[in-house]
Amino acid sequence: MINSAAWRFAPKPGNRLQPARIALAAVATVLAGLAFAQAPNLPQPAAPAPAALSDALPIPPPPAPRTSAAWILMDYATGQVLAGENYDVRHEPASITKVMTSYVIAAEMAAGKVHADDAVMMSEHAWREGGAGTEGSYSGFPVNKTAPLVEMEKGMVVQSGNDAAIALAEHVAGSEDAFASLMNAYAARIGMTGSHFVNPHGLSAEGHYSTAHDLARLGRALIHDFPVAYSYNKIKEFTVGPITQPNRNLLLWRDPSVDGIKTGHTDKAGYCLMASALRGDQRLISVVLGDTSENQRAVDSQALLNWGFRFYETHKLYDAGKPIAKLKIWKGAADDVQLGLAEPMLISMPRGKYTQLKPAMDVPKSLVAPIAKGQKIGTVKVMLDGKLIAQRPLVALNAVEQGGFFKRIWDELLMWWQTV
């Protein structure tokens, strides 16, 4: 096969510069070949255990909850939606709201503004609006008495105490309204674009809404950002004085892999459940809104989790900051630049098809120094069955300064010869 660069520089009769052209052409051809050899080729990730025969079959439809208004199943590691219906439609979140309250409290604790041992007062307002005399769930902390913040929070999380949620809001921000402003600010930071909160407990109120998608995002954020606060959600029962109440998440008793997250119920919202389970190193999050009963929301959530674990798996393809390819650099102090990712690349994919992944790169044909560290150079893509399933930006892992005067002139000449 004739190399195109060498063909262009074939000697012509009567050309006095023929020897110089031949030499320069030879060098250009070698460098062009070197650049091609160093073009990024993605390493295939190590294969897991051999796939089962059934993994070659099509994935069956998800067990869609028939009596719910909206639902979603999300992979925790990637945030990828595996299945769902109406998950971006606004819906009352009921007491799942308290997960947002937990997130705000944990974030304010991390900022040093409140502390786990703070004395939180069960005000008369909190007691009247959310205590035992109301129709909603309550924690049982006595009115006008204090309790450590962490205990009050467990009363809110485990017992779904509306009174505890109000007391915590007053302690953190002074009032429910001020706390709701914090909730909305943190929700925006998380990326909950379809949500708006007006209270810390989730009782029906005008302008108080979320979506199944946003709530799954919230659960993912709480697990990732504040694992200690999240751990309260797996407590099966909590005692305040003479009153012991169970966690209303029935999956905590039915499935040992489930470690959260939160139930909710009002007449308008129906029965709601945000659940999460960890099996091996894979975690899934489900949200079911507007179901018909406490048991049905648990049954529907369990079916979704089982389906997701059976038919999907999560893999980390590449670590952040580690070179996965290198690319030729012209006019640089170095001859190439290392390419990698700013963040780990994880994907959720049908189980048993790991070895069928086809990675590829889109990178510039010609790259000229200077190159800054962290500069976006191109894109790494992953295909499966001819479809794009993931892509991430490629960045320079090292800076490349401009080369000296003669290096720049020489590379300029070689680049010109390759274009004529």
**Residues labelled as active-site residues:** 95, 98, 160
DSSP 8: H
∠ CA(150), CA(153), CA(157), 5° rounding?
A: 135
CB 388 within 8 A of CB 382: yes
CA-derived radius of gyration, the chain: 29
- Output the DSSP codes for 326-339: EEE-BSBSSSEEEE
CB 148 within 8 A of CB 115: no
Checking DSSP bridges between strand 358-362 and strand 376-384, what pairing results, if any? antiparallel
Query: Taking Cα atoms as reference points, which of 51, 81, 76, 43 lies closest to residue 314?
Result: 76
Place of tokens 């009032």: 175
> From CA 190, how far away is CA 387, in angstroms rounded?
29
Amino acid in position 346: L
CB 171 within 8 A of CB 121: yes
Q: State how far the alpha carbon of 414 is from the alpha carbons of 5, 26, 51, 409, in Å.
A: 11, 11, 50, 9
* 252-258 contact pairs (CB < 8 A, 24+): 254/298, 254/302, 255/302, 255/305, 257/305, 258/234, 258/305
∠ CA(4), CA(6), CA(11), 5° rounding?
A: 130
CB 75 within 8 A of CB 82: yes
